[in-house]
Amino acid sequence: MAFTHLDRQFFIPAETTEEAMARIFGLTGARYQSRGEKRALVALRDALGLDVDIVRTNAVMGEQLALRLDVAWEPALHTVRNKVNLAGLNVLLEGATHAFQAGELQRVRTQRPVTLEGAGWSEFQPAVSKIEAVTRIARLLDSPEEWLGPGSKEHKSVLVNLADRLLPEVTLDRSSKTRLARDIAHTLHVPWTDTCYSTGETISLEGLNTILAGAERRVGRLGTTAADLLASPEAEGAALAAALFDGWKAAAWDGRTCVEWLAASGARGANDNEWQGWYFEARGREVLAAAFQPTPNPPRTRFGNTVFDYSLNHVWDLKAHTARQVDSSGAVLKRGGALMLNDERAVRDCVADQGLGFLVLSGDALMDDDGTFVAWHRDFKASQGKTVAPSNSGRSRTRKRAFTPLSIDAFWVGSTLSLDAAVASGSLAVRASGRQPPKVPGGSGASRADKFHMSLSEARRDLSVSRHDWVYRTRPSSAILAR
């Protein structure tokens, strides 16, 4: 039967090559590797059981995959020289998503720890990331939520909580994290080898998967997936916030670097004044795609002209919020107001249909008080043949030259009743949006639909399901300030 395009209410095309690769890896059960699209194509080949030699070019392999997935393939549109471009990856991603939802993709077996080979482990679904592994271990036993520390290092608490709940009568060596993991593995009768841990008291993904498999077998839930364990929006929101918290380090985002990355990646927002919002959306989708395997039955993501950014069991939108505007000395110039969300009608319809969550990254914006960034940005736009849009007010706002993440929040609005209560409490409000830029100087731009706005201080009281803070308050690096 010929493939037909998925309903765009449910399928969201990838915005970057990295996102497309991460999502293909997720569909196949393979671990994300950001070293070109070849590994993603090979993972899809293996999941489809297709016989294409690995030495063939990416373009040839892409064409063979498209033929197997029964999707239209046009080399002139979908390849550049011998590589598959973003358009081609999206064609394959859509076909692979259709095959995944139809149960026609097999999980890549190379991701299962080598110590767990054999018929007895055939049902086990390995975690594709460390954040997925610690989340699943915690949720399997109803332990407190987990997240990763600096360097994507798992906390000892994930093992302590597992031992306390699953093996309360067993004497285990708790003097170190690796010794505790080893004793848990032995008690659960799963092999523990040198590949299960590394230097610095760190458990590898293989080690976490080994313990996860043993725990699932012990409680009679072998074959459980992350989506199974994140059935509630609260559990899912906590896991997604933890993944995003692990996705960024304690460092400022340089405006020039981010804008250039957006342009090179083909993502939206490179020419937008609020580049940090587009950067968080694009990179955040990559992080989430690499962290969790998707569900075969995703919820609807498009409502009218609004497409929400991400879904697992539930729908979420990613937003960046300027908590404070600061100067180069770190002095606060202005504190942020309410966060603009989405079109009122789309939010109301999504909430009424299935609920809606928001993943909000708040940070400090270093303002471009000397105008060097805006001058560079205008030259950057001009080099692409873009013209600067005139302002409705006739004045140019001060731009942001850098953005430093401070916290990540997950909020959930579960029903129309909850939405109305949030409006009544002041957590949410409907406000008129500013007009679009005018087509000619001195003119008036077209009107925009009303949008919901969020007061974070109130929402943290009424709608919060999880929050993580980067514990630093540093000035931007000298390299950023020197630009």
Using 50, 70 and 90 to split pLDDT, how confident is the model at 4?
A: very low
d(CA 324, CA 336): 5
CB 158 within 8 A of CB 138: yes
Q: What is the pLDDT of residues 157-170, one digit of tens each?
A: 999 999 999 999 99
CB 330 within 8 A of CB 322: no
Residue with tokens 């706005």: 453
Q: What is the pLDDT of residues 88-105, one digit of tens each?
A: 999 999 999 999 988 898
Residue extents of the structural domains in the chain = 17-109, 112-228, 232-481
CB 435 within 8 A of CB 445: yes
Amino acid at 377: H
Q: Residue 252 pLDDT more than 70?
A: yes
The stretch 324-345 carries a mean pLDDT of 90
d(CA 158, CA 42): 33
Q: What is the pLDDT of residues 35-54, one digit of tens each?
A: 678 899 999 999 998 888 87
